[in-house]
Structure 1
Amino acid sequence: MSRGGLGPSFWRLFVSSATSNLADGIGRTALPLLAASLTRDPLLISGLVTLAFLPWLLFALLSGVLVDRVDRRKAMAAANIFRALVVAALGVAVLVDAAGIVALYVAAFLLGAAETVYDSAARAMLPAVVNRAQLDRGNSLLVTEEMVGQTFLGAPIGALLFAMLAAAPLLGNAVIFVVAAVLILTVRARLPQPRTQRSTIRADVRTGLQWLQAHRLLRGLMLVTTAICGIGAMAEAVLVLYVLEDLDVPSAGFGLFLVAFGIGGLLGGAVAGWLGRRLGRIASMVVSNGLGGAAYLVLGVFAQPVLAAVLFGVYGLTVIVWNVLSMSLRQALIPPELFGRVQGAWRTLVWGVIPVGSLLGGLLASLTSVRTVFAVSGILQLLSAAAVLVVLRPHRDELAAAFAADAGAAAELSEVSRQP
């Protein structure tokens, strides 16, 4: 692992992740389209998103404990094999015309449960294959391939396959998940040493929670990020209805429309590290969040396909810039041996709020309109940008030290931050 190049281990991780994200993109497009073919009730469709993210509220802490106890590569492979079985079963159900909305809910929940394991392990893998100074670059590349796989390739492929045969994207996903499971096992990584002392699951969960609660910077950022995720979930839950009904885009074009989001995401992945260095990490995170809120607000006011495509591109850029800079921050501050547990605690709250936001978005759309949901989400996200500044600005010295070559200074500041 050289300081200049990212090394072969990173690129093996990259290829495995890209394969898995292609399957995610196909599935995340096909499932909403399948749901929309069964019902146009906003509340029922938002329920699909709710069930997909509910496992983060229920299982993220346990998944974090698991990935700190086992080989993270094997955990990722097992999660992908499980996802392959789920989508294969759903594909067969669709083929024999036995897949109702309840079957979609069950599949979404099971896929979400597997994702808690896969994602917790995947986020912990990057610090094991690159140096701390390479985290922004590594995260940018991983987020870029995620955007390409899920949006540029997965979304249009999923929509086109669905238009040809509803079961096709699901059965294809089963094969892709198996390939991704095999690929991740080829990665060589600097993994944490196995713990010699035995501990209970409850004790491990408590360790992660206590570490995160005591770290003032990450605790504050977690609360703000939770609000941002809940706000975004409101609009994302009814996105398929916004595209199909408000924009009057046919189902076959749903995935192609989302490519605009992918274009923005690619640009965001390319410039995130540069923005963090040029504007500063704090300013970049504040501006990206505020710009995303402005895009959602305009989407709620105007429903015009070309304008919406541009604004979804802008939103994609802001999401990826935020994700890259926020993820690198956590990877730099959290000790490797604790990463799974702390990340599990983080995701329990941050992603656990997504089901709540999704239900609120569906309920608000039922009572008002889909466009109202986007406008409200935009206003709330604009307000959250100010909260990001309030939380991060007092810790700018700690952030600078965390990414400095002197790891000892970063560790010292991190210890100071954990003082009550």
Structure 2
Amino acid sequence: MRSQLGPSFWRLFVSSATSNLADGIGRTALPLLAASFTRDPLLISGLVTLAFLPWLLFALISGVLVDRIDRRKAMAAANVFRALVMTALGIAVLADVAGIPALYAAAFLLGVAETVYDSAARAMLPSVVRRDQLDTGNSLLSTEENVGQSFLGAPIGAFLFALFAAAPLLTNAVGFTIAAVLILMVRGNFRQVRPDRSTITADIRTGLSWLRAHQLLRGLMLISTAIVGVASMGEAVFVLYVLEDLGVPEAGFGLFLVAAGVGGLLGGAVAGWIGRRLGRIWAMVLADGLGGAAYVAMGLTGHAFAGAVLFGTYGVTVMVWNVQSMSVRQALIPTELFGRVQGAWRTLVWGAIPVGSLLGGLLASLASVQAVFVLSGGLQVVIAGAGYVVLNRHRDQLSAAFETATAEPSLERS
């Protein structure tokens, strides 16, 4: 497999794995730190809201940016910025001057950097592998993302937090710095050739127009927006679900994310096979429906072990969906437009997370955290059914997108 995918892919893989490990440590530490300041569901959900608000505000601009500059340098700069933010937050925690406002500020700034990093990272893969290798490449990258963030980063972050609160933040900063250096070792020219020098506004308009005119991707985008929005209702209060509803101590919080990481490993291993066996449409629809069912069951159980198993099951379904969805986008979106179209996509899809997070926090305050999971899961099942109707209209176009493989990327010969 290594010789088939080529050295440029594997350099990208190692850099991404390092970045995701750091990201996993930070994503575990921040909600734990927030829970140490308050147990108010609305304030806790505000952390997720601020973390994803930049996707609503800056995703379009970030997409234009990564289509204009070297994507490696964009990823490196974003990781250096994230390292500086986490260093500053770590120092504030050590000085005992951090609080919810500081966490909100850090979450927002990290989110801004992520819009650049993630847009550039997703746009790089089609430049280092052939089209017929996208499923394999996405499975590997998605698997290492889940392993780094959940299977390894989560328990490391929880363990370091138990030692002292600033430890995972400073470790996170070191990881981002190393990842920034590693991504610059990927050889090749990742600046897209631009025949004209259009304005930023014109570039944004181009991405939006292209996506609006593509019925298949437009439909998939609307389904993804609905799924992500309702799923974020539960994710926003997940730390309270584990600590309070299931009675798990803070040191054990990371184990729940490990369960999701194990599920992600399994999902990444079988995503390609499921897609080939059932077809992409059924793979995505079943992933969404089963994920929703797992959420409902989480809301109905009060046992920690059952909750962990169900969250791991949810991790499987998320991975299967992500691999299929990303492969479809990478196969259909022209490389020179990928950053702009992906920016438009993420503006709507991830822009739904702040809204869903606030609704989840509000519902948890008015009813209960477990009620949030039941409602969120039920809505995901309904969306799965609607998704089948939408995607099935474009079955032939979806199949045709993967019939012809592209030539080997030129950078593999450099």
| Aligned equivalents of 1:174, 1:52: Cα separation in 2 | 17
- What is the percent sequence identity of the aligned residues? 76
Would the aligned equivalents of 2:22 and 2:172 in 1 still touch at CA under 8 Å?
yes
Q: How many pairs are equivalent? A: 407
2:234 maps to 1:231: no
| Aligned equivalents of 2:228, 2:85: Cα separation in 1 | 26
Cα gap change, 1:333 to 1:192, in 2 (>3 Å): farther
| Aligned equivalents of 1:341, 1:149: Cα separation in 2 | 27
Would the aligned equivalents of 1:86 and 1:107 in 2 still touch at CA under 8 Å?
yes
Would the aligned equivalents of 2:69 and 2:192 in 1 still touch at CA under 8 Å?
no
Spell out the pairing of 1:339-350 with structure 2 (5 A cutoff).
Answer: 339-350=338-349
> Where does residue 416 of structure 1 map in the other structure?
none
> Where does residue 159 of structure 2 map in the other structure?
160
> Where does residue 334 of structure 1 map in the other structure?
333
What is the Cα deviation at residue 407 of structure 1? 6.4
TM-score computed with the length of structure 2 as normaliser: 0.97
Question: Which SS does the other structure have where 2:39 is aligned?
Answer: coil
What is the Cα deviation at residue 208 of structure 1? 0.2
What is the Cα deviation at residue 193 of structure 1? 4.0
2:345 maps to 1:358: no
The Cα offsets for residues 49-98 of structure 1, whole Å up to 9 and x where unpaired, read as 00000000000000000000000000000000000000000000000000
> Where does residue 4 of structure 2 map in the other structure?
5
| Aligned equivalents of 1:3, 1:265: Cα separation in 2 | 21
| Aligned equivalents of 2:161, 2:305: Cα separation in 1 | 24
2:15 maps to 1:16: yes
> Where does residue 67 of structure 2 map in the other structure?
68
2:257 maps to 1:268: no
2:297 maps to 1:298: yes
> Where does residue 102 of structure 1 map in the other structure?
101
> Where does residue 313 of structure 1 map in the other structure?
312
The Cα offsets for residues 185-226 of structure 1, whole Å up to 9 and x where unpaired, read as 111246464213111110000000000000000011101100
Would the aligned equivalents of 2:130 and 2:406 in 1 still touch at CA under 8 Å?
no
| Aligned equivalents of 1:333, 1:166: Cα separation in 2 | 44
Cα gap change, 1:145 to 1:367, in 2 (>3 Å): same
TM-score computed with the length of structure 1 as normaliser: 0.95
Query: Which letter maps to 1:123?
Result: R
Moved more, 378-387 or 256-265: 256-265
| Aligned equivalents of 1:268, 1:260: Cα separation in 2 | 12
Question: Which SS does the other structure have where 1:187 is aligned?
Answer: coil
Q: Tell me, which stretches of 5 or more residues in structure 1 are unaligned?
A: 409-420
| Aligned equivalents of 1:226, 1:189: Cα separation in 2 | 34
| Aligned equivalents of 2:188, 2:6: Cα separation in 1 | 11
Query: Which letter maps to 1:156?
Result: P
> Where does residue 210 of structure 1 map in the other structure?
209
RMSD of Structure 2 on Structure 1 (CA): 1.3
> Where does residue 42 of structure 1 map in the other structure?
41
Query: Which letter maps to 1:366?
Result: S
Would the aligned equivalents of 1:128 and 1:189 in 2 still touch at CA under 8 Å?
no
The Cα offsets for residues 6-64 of structure 1, whole Å up to 9 and x where unpaired, read as 01000000000000000110000000000000000000000000000000000000000
| Aligned equivalents of 1:407, 1:72: Cα separation in 2 | 21
Would the aligned equivalents of 1:129 and 1:190 in 2 still touch at CA under 8 Å?
no
Query: Which letter maps to 1:144?
Result: T
| Aligned equivalents of 2:40, 2:138: Cα separation in 1 | 37
| Aligned equivalents of 1:256, 1:311: Cα separation in 2 | 13
| Aligned equivalents of 2:406, 2:5: Cα separation in 1 | 19
| Aligned equivalents of 2:55, 2:302: Cα separation in 1 | 32
Question: Which SS does the other structure have where 2:165 is aligned?
Answer: coil
Query: Which letter maps to 1:331?
Result: Q
Question: Which SS does the other structure have where 1:231 is aligned?
Answer: helix
What is the Cα deviation at residue 257 of structure 1? 2.1
> Where does residue 255 of structure 1 map in the other structure?
254
> Where does residue 55 of structure 2 map in the other structure?
56
Question: Which SS does the other structure have where 2:231 is aligned?
Answer: helix
> Where does residue 411 of structure 2 map in the other structure?
none
Would the aligned equivalents of 2:150 and 2:261 in 1 still touch at CA under 8 Å?
yes
| Aligned equivalents of 1:381, 1:280: Cα separation in 2 | 20
| Aligned equivalents of 2:132, 2:191: Cα separation in 1 | 19
> Where does residue 245 of structure 2 map in the other structure?
246
